Amino acid sequence: MNLLISKTLSEIVTEQFQTASVFEKYNLDYCCKGKRSLQQACEDENVPINEIVEDIQNIYSQKINVLNFNSFKLYQLSEYIIHTHHCYIKKEIPLILSYLEKVCTKHGNRHNELYKISELFVDLTNELMHHMHNEETILFPRIKQLEQDGFEPNAFDIKYYQYLQLPIIDMEDDDEDADIKIAEIRKLTNNYTPPADSCTTFKILYASLQAFETDLHQYVHLENNILFPKALILEKEIRMCNDN
């Protein structure tokens, strides 16, 4: 147990991706705040550590076969993010916006929080669309180029500018902002609990928002805790090689 609680949240999820469901259950941020140890995170959020450890150990005992993202090539992980998370987000945005419009029209007079939820979600998705576009057209192609050609003689010169570092800083800032907005949406929805007078569309809206948050956390974890750190290490190694 002592070894487990001393690990960071991101380490635990990276080693066994299914443990993300435990952190979602207790609203522990393993993506943007994943560098905290399990013990520190539980203390910060006043969450029962013994229950979390038991849930995690139950997952370990099941020996579930899941993708080992830590073993992926960087370009493979980039492509997985695009085909899994970017595609999911692009598919869900118009559906959730449609639900929000219908629910605000029908229930907004009794549940004013819906207007704020709608405003936050629109801001969040506008930022995500810009974020994903920059990844698909700038950052991910650069990562692929470095991984495939970076050590080739005179492949290209990255000596005088921050080829990956600057776009990654921008992406991480976007991720933190998205995390703040989705956390505020969760708070306004009372952890996605529909009110007693909610209709079917209201319930679908909250369930869709909760699923959207879960996917967003997984997406940000893969970037901030696996892809980006490894890409920066690769960039550093290539710079050192070019300098020699």
Would you place residue 161 in the very low, low, confident or very high pLDDT band (cuts 50, 70, 90)?
A: low
What's the pLDDT score for residue 152?
63
Would you place residue 216 in the very low, low, confident or very high pLDDT band (cuts 50, 70, 90)?
A: very high
What's the pLDDT score for residue 107?
93
Q: What is the distance between the alpha carbons of residues 127 and 177, in angstroms, rounded to a whole number?
A: 9
143: its two tokens? 């990562």
Q: Which fold has domain 2-62?
A: SP0561-like (1.10.3910)
What's the pLDDT score for residue 32?
84
pTM across the whole model: 0.87
pLDDT tens digits along 82-130: 999 999 999 999 999 999 999 999 999 999 999 999 999 999 999 999 9
Residue 240 CA to its chain's centroid (Å): 31
State mean pLDDT over 231-239. Answer: 86
Q: Domain residue spans in the chain?
A: 2-62, 72-243
Q: What is the distance between the alpha carbons of residues 46 and 35, in angstroms, rounded to a whole number?
A: 17
How much of the chain, in percent, has pLDDT values that exceed 90?
A: 70
